[in-house]
Amino acid sequence: MTRRQTLLTGGAALLAGAAPRAAWGRTEADVLIIGAGLAGLHAASLLEAQGVRVIVIEGERRVGGCMHTLDDLPGAPEAGGVQIGSGYHRIIGLTKRHGIPLEPAPSIDRNVLYHIGGRSVTMADWPGSDANRLPAPERAIPPGALGPAFGARMAALPTPQSWMEPNAAALDISYAAALAQAGASAEAIRLIDANLNGNSVHSLSALHVARTAAIFRASPGPLLMIGGGSQRLPEAMAATLATPPRLGQQVAAIAESPENVTVTLTNGKTITARHALCTIPFAALRTIPIEAPISRDLAALIAGLPYSRASFAYLAASDAFWKSDGLPETLWSDDPLIGRVFALGEDPPMLKVWLSGPNAGRLDRMPRDVAAGAIIARIEAARPAARGKLRLARLFSWQRSPMARGIYHHIAPGQAATLAAGCRARGNRLHFAGEHLAQGSSGMEGSLESAEQAVATMLGRLGT
């Protein structure tokens, strides 16, 4: 990030004294919210309830952010957030408020078919398989269970918020280093890296993994999902706002003055408000020039907070062959073009291929027809019952979306203290929220948590 993009003042306050009230008349709203995902929509609703004039703008032609239901595909599969934990109290409350039904999420079948080194192996056969190159102490552990197995040997965080404490710094090393310290072999680390929910075991902090584990421990119980598709919730939230979100409004620049914040759009138009709340992912925000007194920690996060790459291939099947071939439904592979293959349903029969990190980038660079042929051929080789029964319905990439540039954030090694300080930072007139700034939650719930923190700050400052 250049000086032209972000003017740093080390957190110094703006010019002392209240902004001239005459300037308020030149603003279109009290608060301009950038982004109509969960954080932006929740903040808008909370502010409107307090009588605040709000405008919400969104660069996409839809609301929802990382809650994205592909309604045009058979079965309306999800591309974004799906699972709702028992501790997602804010999300559950919003579904009740808006009359959105919740349903039990499909149970996770731990019995998967492994395809390692070009050979398909069931879990029962894994310990004695020639494809199993793990050393003797690890041979009994299936590839998909290696992460949790070694995670149990690492230090655990007592609470979901504990990652922010100084004594958690010992865990803020690369996940690869932490796995090695826990006794993982090079082959175990390679397999964990093959389908990591992140970009690499080398670029992911072990503290991020510990934080995720703490959040899951704090939310025991069955998982839920939104009936009719995850995107139904943000759509319902947007429908209750006094002023509908303005869609297709992409931001070109943001400038804060002592009196207000002015946002310039790519179409050349400007919107001025007394305060602005930016909820778009930092991976997308870092390409937008910002002229504002932002703390050094926030500036560093905008410039360098990593986001996980994720690309999906949705495959339509002529029949649900995974129900009749005698093999587990889920396929887990170290093949860079298979990754994980999930059965989405039988009516219609659909599969979802999930690729992460460098494998997602590899898929993104391939022409559609080439990618379709390569993926289907590999699945057919791993699972012969699939031969002649698959066709590509859609390729989807989160990092290729200019409004996202990744599916969700993660902490890089050595970055936790900066992120913790950024989560605590409070702006003058330009504020930030999103799942990347949550302190005790993650994902959908984290988006709402951070929105509430930002709203509390803005309500305290709207009198100036």
Domain assignment present for residue 427? The answer is: yes
Q: Quick one: 234 and 371 in the same domain?
A: no
Q: Are 301 and 418 found together in one domain?
A: yes
For 143, residues 6+ apart whose C-beta sits below 8 A from its C-beta are 114, 116, 126, 191, 192, 194, 332, 334
Measured from the Cβ of residue 226, the count of other Cβ atoms closer than 10 Å reads: 25
Is 209 annotated for ligand binding? Answer: no
Query: Could you tell me if 263 and 333 lie in one domain?
Result: no
Number of domains forming the structure of the chain: 3
Residue 260 lies in a domain: yes
Residues 415 and 301 in one domain: yes
Mean pLDDT by 10 residues, the chain (464 residues): 36 34 71 98 98 98 97 97 95 98 88 97 97 97 97 96 97 98 98 97 98 93 94 98 97 97 98 98 98 97 98 98 96 98 96 98 98 98 98 98 97 98 96 98 97 97 80
Residues 314 and 375 in one domain: yes
Q: What is the CATH number of the domain that holds 331?
A: 3.90.660.10
Q: Look at residues 214, 239, 268 and tell me which one is the last residue of a structural domain.
A: 214
pLDDT of residue 11: 33
Residue 262 in any domain: the answer is yes
Q: Which of these, 377, 363, 376, 384, lies nearest to 315 by C-alpha position?
A: 376
Does 52 appear as a known binding residue? Answer: no
Q: In terms of domains, do 336 and 450 share one?
A: no
Q: Are residues 278 and 150 in the same domain?
A: no
Please check whether residues 53 and 173 belong to one and the same domain.
no
Residue with tokens 């699945």: 379
Residue-range definition of the domain harbouring residue 333: 108-140+310-397
* Last residue within a domain, chosen from 214, 239, 262: 214
What pLDDT does residue 464 have?
A: 59
- For residues 336 and 177, the answer to whether their CB atoms sit within 8 Å is no
Across the beta sheet with 390-397, the strand order is 119-122, 113-116, 331-333, 340-346, 349-356, 310-317, 390-397
**73 located within any domain:** no
Answer yes or no: is 79 within a domain: no
Q: Is residue 299 located within the same domain as residue 359?
A: no
Q: Are 243 and 387 in a shared domain? A: no
11 found inside a domain: no
Closest of 108, 112, 100 to residue 69, by C-alpha: 100
Domain shared by 205 and 235, yes or no: no
> Which position has the token pair 């504002």?
292
> Is the overall model pTM greater than 0.85, yes or no?
yes
Q: How many CB atoms are closer than 10 A to CB 167? A: 7
Rounded to whole angstroms, the Cα distance separating 1 from 24 reads 31
What is residue 26's predicted lDDT score, i.e. its pLDDT? 78
| Structural domain contains residue 8 | no
pLDDT (0 to 100) of residue 2: 40
In a domain, 258, yes or no: yes
Are residue 325 and residue 369 in the same domain, yes or no? yes
Among residues 214, 244, 271, the one where a domain terminates is 214
